[in-house]
């Protein structure tokens, strides 16, 4: 989607700092992603991508939505850390909304905003290398690492579609990055060494 | 002397030993006792509201004070009579936040509190729902109520400069509002506690004893290990668990590694804010070595997952030790080089000297801790005053500066960094052989425990009440920034706007620690109003 330099706005929605420090770390000399044209910007208006951390606390929610809306389309969201990906250990407490997907639901219901392309980078915190890999994935430089192969006895188009739908029932409508699913005939797998 | 004060006022001593005194004080005598304790040299560490209805049929409030002269913690407990307890904020200003926190989370009313406003939950949280009461469940979703933003008076001469909640210098969702007249800051307000994640309730209700250390680590991504260390010590204190000596040394080493990387992080941020970006790059390059050390020793760069109640999970073998010493030797030279360069740069020194002064008197009243206190001439260090882990057997100096400005806070951290290198080296050298985990213990019912550590930012206090089995009745962590933050407006007053970022950063604020419970602070930051602060300043 973005062929040139990726400008990133760091949006902390109530994270513990672990992921935020690792984000800063990739701009430090060891990794130094500025040489790839990736840059942290101060204003959401300047950004192409959001480096999203934290489980979205209740107090933060209205402010996060404001910042989210301020980033111009098209945008990419890098959901960094377990909290951003799924809410982390506090996914269902009274004070937490529970990660980007829950945020998207609210955005969709209340503001009719379609979820942007999202890259999930799990880890508590993810290593800087993983964050860079995520950014590279956004650019299409590398392939997605998480893949899923499913074997069925009789393979036809309908079963394939059904399985994909069941596995990612809710997510199929959105533009999330999903694990690549390949449905294969179980006969084939037997032939493989 | 502490015990005399308590006995004189007819309080019932529940526990009395070397480190901790717990006393039950009657409602009428509370204010008097608090005043006398404060005059005897105690400062306010934290306050804990507990729903004790299933046990005693009432709500209780625990005020935890730290007495530096006697090197002891005093915990005064009071029961609420018809949900009411007299407020001690008029006597000890540091109790302000803690009392308001209890007000919102438990629903105790504090009589005579100067500003009994909603503090804890978000604005849209309905009245009368108290998350820390036992009948409230951690996963209860409370519908939002409508709120109207309050109207504020505006003075045409004074301009408001909002900083945050998402701001390039902050990296955390907190908001400061600075009031400026020309270039001069005449007021500041802090509205924080955006990072309330419902941690205490989660620990009480869903998690078990040995799962909580992993939760405690996630209070803060920078100083997580001190938090889980303090928690483990609190439980060990409550259940009288003996920790193997080797485990104590391993804890010490990790605590110091954490301090090193945290301080280097701060130097980097400070250099960046002062406009010296090469300094930022160099300190962060050196800091990467400490992340490698952490990964080598624990398997994770940040959340270590090392502590359990009764010891640690992974040992340090000879191979790791050798590698660790090699890295330390190299980084020590590099750190010295870069920090000496920074300390010799006139431009940087000029921007730090005499900026953001916090006088000793105010520092004591608010109860600031850690490097901020030491830079204001208060000689305090939990590692020395209340030895925990293996600090009692190690030799280190505690730097103290009188100036109270940003430069003093810089120098305190500068000296501490090299002390930390020295502590790690000593600990590695002296580490005895033996077990690392003691799993042979039983958790008593309703026992109190207090754990304290010196985090890179100051004193961490964790208060624990056990429930027996493998559950906790109440757990209350208190992070150092909670005590340090109210001092920021005093530092900011009368300074130039351009200096605000470095002054705010000079306390090394860590908001995620502070916000484990939500408190909203509007307009005012401490007992004193803006005018009072201005008067103090003059």
pLDDT of residue A180: 61
The ipTM estimated for the assembled molecules is 0.85
Cβ separation A15–B171 shorter than 8 A: no
Ordered alpha helix ranges (H), B89-169: 95-105
pLDDT of residue A182: 67
Question: What is the CA angle B90-B93-B96, rounded to 5?
Answer: 90
A48 lies within 8 A of chain B by CB: no
Which of B54, B10, B73 minimizes the C-alpha distance to B386? Answer: B73
User: In a mutagenesis test of the A interface, which of B139, B194, B224 is the best target, namely the one with the most A β-carbons within 10 Å?
Assistant: B194
Cβ separation A57–B196 shorter than 8 A: yes
Number of separate domains in chain B: 3
For the record, the structure tokens of B300 come out as 């994770």
Whether B125 is covered by a domain: the verdict is no
Q: Which residue of B has its CA nearest to A81?
A: B221
Whether B9 is covered by a domain: the verdict is yes
Check whether residue B259 and residue B396 sit in a common domain: yes
Whether B465 is covered by a domain: the verdict is no
Give the whole-angstrom CA distance, residue A132 versus residue A142.
Answer: 11
Whether B478 is covered by a domain: the verdict is no
Query: Which DSSP helix (H) or strand (E) runs through B366?
Result: helix B360-366
Length of chain A: 193
Cβ separation A16–B287 shorter than 8 A: no
Whether B471 is covered by a domain: the verdict is no
Chain B nearest-CA distance from A50, in A, is 12
Whether B305 is covered by a domain: the verdict is yes
Check whether residue B188 and residue B215 sit in a common domain: no
Q: What is the mean pLDDT of residues A170-180?
A: 49
In A, which residues are within 8 Å of B199 by CB distance? 90, 93
Check whether residue B403 and residue B499 sit in a common domain: no
pLDDT of residue A122: 87
The ranges assigned to domains in chain A are 7-139, 147-191
Chain B nearest-CA distance from A130, in A, is 13
Question: Would the pLDDT of B183 be above 80?
Answer: yes
CATH number of A7-139: 3.40.50.12280
Mapping DSSP to helix (H, G, I), strand (E, B) and coil, where does residue B3 land? helix
Cβ separation A15–B221 shorter than 8 A: yes
Residue B220 has its nearest CB partner, among A17, A41, A58, at A17
Question: Would the pLDDT of B132 be above 60?
Answer: yes
In A, which residues are within 8 Å of B122 by CB distance? 58-59
pLDDT of residue A167: 67
Q: Which residues constitute the domain of residue B408?
A: 209-439+452-460
Question: Would the pLDDT of A178 be above 70?
Answer: no
pLDDT in tens, B87-120: 988 888 888 888 888 888 888 888 888 877 777 6
Q: Of B111, B129, B144, which residue is a domain's last?
A: B111
Query: What share of residues in chain B are helix, strand, coil (percent, to 5)?
Result: 40, 20, 40
Q: Give B248-287 as a DSSP string.
A: HHHHHHHHHHHHHHHHHHHHHHHHHHTT-HHHHHHHHHHH
pLDDT of residue A49: 92
Whether B476 is covered by a domain: the verdict is no
Residue A95 has its nearest CB partner, among B196, B303, B510, at B196
Provide the b/e sequence for B262-298 (b: ≥16 CB within 10 Å). bbbbbbbbbbbbbebeebbbbbbbbbbbbbbbbeebb
Give the whole-angstrom CA distance, residue B119 versus residue B105.
Answer: 9
Q: Of B429, B460, B491, which residue is a domain's last?
A: B460
Chain B nearest-CA distance from A60, in A, is 6
B201 lies within 8 A of chain A by CB: yes
From chain B residues 382-401, the ones with a CB under 8 A of any chain A CB are none
CATH of the domain at B96: 3.30.460.80
B430 lies within 8 A of chain A by CB: no
Residue A21 has its nearest CB partner, among B173, B265, B285, at B265
pLDDT band for position B452 (50/70/90)? very high
Question: Would the pLDDT of A177 be above 60?
Answer: no
Average pLDDT, chain A: 82
Whether B504 is covered by a domain: the verdict is yes
pLDDT of residue A176: 44
Cβ separation B196–A14 shorter than 8 A: yes
B219 lies within 8 A of chain A by CB: yes
User: In a mutagenesis test of the A interface, which of B171, B228, B285 is the best target, namely the one with the most A β-carbons within 10 Å?
Assistant: B171
Cβ separation A16–B220 shorter than 8 A: yes
């Amino acid at each position: 989607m973005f062929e040139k330099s990726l400008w990133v706005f760091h949006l902390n929605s109530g994270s513990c700092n672990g992921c935020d420090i690792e984000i800063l770390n990739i701009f430090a000399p060891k990794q130094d992603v500025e040489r790839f044209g990736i840059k942290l910007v101060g204003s959401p208006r300047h950004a192409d991508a959001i480096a999203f951390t934290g489980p979205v606390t209740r107090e933060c929610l209205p402010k996060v939505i404001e910042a989210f809306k301020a980033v111009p389309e098209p945008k990419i969201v890098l959901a960094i850390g377990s909290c951003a990906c799924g809410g982390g250990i506090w996914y269902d407490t009274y004070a937490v909304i529970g990660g980007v997907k829950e945020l998207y639901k609210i955005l969709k219901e209340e503001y009719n905003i379609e979820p942007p392309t999202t890259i999930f980078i799990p880890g508590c915190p993810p290593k800087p290398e993983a964050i860079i890999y995520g950014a590279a994935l956004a650019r299409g430089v590398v392939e997605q690492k998480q893949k899923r192969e499913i074997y069925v006895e009789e393979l036809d188009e309908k079963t394939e579609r059904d399985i994909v739908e069941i596995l990612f029932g809710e997510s199929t409508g959105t533009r999330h990055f999903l694990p690549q699913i390949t449905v294969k005939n179980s006969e084939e797998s037997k032939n493989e060494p | 002397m502490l015990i005399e004060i308590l006995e004189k006022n007819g309080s019932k001593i529940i526990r009395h030993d070397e480190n901790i005194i717990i006393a039950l004080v009657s409602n009428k005598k509370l204010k008097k006792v608090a005043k006398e304790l404060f005059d005897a040299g105690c400062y306010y560490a934290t306050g804990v509201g507990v729903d004790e209805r299933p046990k005693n049929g009432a709500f209780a409030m625990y005020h935890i004070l730290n007495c530096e002269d006697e090197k002891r913690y005093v915990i005064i407990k009071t029961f609420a009579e018809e949900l009411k307890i007299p407020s001690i904020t008029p006597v000890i200003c540091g109790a302000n936040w803690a009392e308001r926190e209890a007000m919102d989370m438990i629903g105790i009313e504090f009589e005579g509190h100067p500003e009994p406003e909603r503090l804890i939950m978000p604005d849209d949280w309905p009245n009368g729902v108290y998350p820390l009461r036992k009948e409230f469940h951690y996963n209860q979703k409370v519908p939002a109520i409508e709120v109207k933003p309050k109207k504020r008076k505006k003075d045409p001469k004074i301009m408001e400069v909002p900083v945050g909640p998402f701001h390039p210098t902050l990296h955390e969702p907190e908001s400061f509002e600075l009031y400026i007249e020309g270039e001069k800051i005449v007021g500041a307000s802090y509205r924080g506690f955006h990072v309330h994640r419902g941690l205490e309730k989660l620990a009480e209700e869903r998690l078990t004893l040995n799962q909580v250390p992993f939760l405690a680590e996630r209070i803060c991504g920078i100083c997580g290990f001190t938090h889980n260390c303090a928690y483990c010590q609190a439980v060990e204190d409550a259940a009288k668990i003996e920790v193997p000596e080797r485990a104590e040394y391993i804890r010490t080493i990790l605590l110091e590694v954490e301090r090193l990387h945290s301080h280097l992080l701060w130097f980097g941020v400070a250099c960046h804010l002062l406009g010296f970006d090469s300094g930022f790059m160099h300190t962060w390059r050196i800091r990467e070595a400490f992340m490698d050390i952490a990964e080598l020793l624990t398997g994770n760069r940040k959340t270590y997952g090392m502590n359990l109640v009764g010891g640690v999970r992974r040992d340090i073998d000879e191979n790791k030790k050798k590698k660790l010493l090699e890295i330390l030797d190299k980084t020590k030279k590099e750190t010295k080089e870069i920090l000496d360069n920074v300390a010799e740069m006139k431009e940087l020194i000029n921007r730090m000297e005499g900026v953001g002064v916090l006088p000793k008197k105010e520092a004591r009243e608010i109860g600031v801790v850690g490097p901020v206190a030491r830079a204001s001439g208060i000689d305090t260090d939990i590692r020395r005053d209340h030895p925990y882990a293996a600090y009692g057997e190690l030799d280190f100096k505690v730097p103290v500066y009188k100036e109270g400005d940003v430069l003093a806070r810089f120098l305190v951290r500068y000296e501490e960094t090299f002390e930390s290198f020295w502590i790690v080296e000593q600990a590695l050298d002296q580490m005895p052989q033996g077990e690392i985990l003691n799993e042979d213990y039983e958790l008593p019912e309703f026992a109190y425990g207090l754990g304290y550590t010196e985090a890179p930012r100051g004193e961490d206090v964790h208060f624990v009440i056990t429930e027996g089995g493998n559950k906790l009745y109440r757990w209350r962590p208190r992070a150092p920034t909670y005590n340090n933050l109210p001092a920021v407006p005093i530092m900011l007053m009368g300074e130039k706007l351009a200096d605000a970022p470095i002054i705010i950063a000079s306390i090394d604020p860590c908001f995620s620690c502070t916000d484990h419970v939500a408190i909203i602070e509007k307009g005012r930051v401490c007992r004193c109003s803006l005018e009072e602060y201005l008067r103090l300043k003059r």
